[in-house]
Amino acid sequence: MYTVIIALIVIVCVLLILIVLVQNSKGGGLASSFASSNQIMGVRKTTDFLEKATWTLAGAMLVLCIIAALAIPRGEIGGQSAIQEQLQQAPANQIIPSFGTEQIETEAAASAGEQQ
């Protein structure tokens, strides 16, 4: 189910990109290459169709994204996240490396004692 929704989102995105690119912008855009479509339907009808298609696809993408968020497959791990599960399974007596910070702290304390 989730993969079907993701596929639909990708299709809607591609269609939305194409429709936005075809629209006539202030600089002419790609709409100037599709002059024959303006002759068939008329300039006003083509503009209305492209605007309605843009809004429809944007709304469809919004709805599909919300549905996809609700349909994300979740594993049955008792209501805990994978990170919490890993923390609980970690050994209790792990040795944490100090990366030389202890030596720096002792040298700083020694030099502070010498200065006084």
* pTM greater than 0.85 (yes/no): no
Pinpoint the alpha helices (H) of the chain. 2-22, 35-41, 43-70, 82-89, 101-115
**pLDDT value at residue 16:** 94
**pLDDT value at residue 17:** 93
Q: Return averaged pLDDT per consecutive 10 residues of the chain, 116 residues in all.
A: 91 93 66 53 71 92 92 67 76 68 63 61
Long-range contacts from 56-64, C-beta under 8 angstroms, 24+ separation:
57/12, 57/15, 57/16, 57/19, 58/16, 60/12, 61/9, 61/12, 61/13, 61/16, 64/5, 64/8, 64/9, 64/12
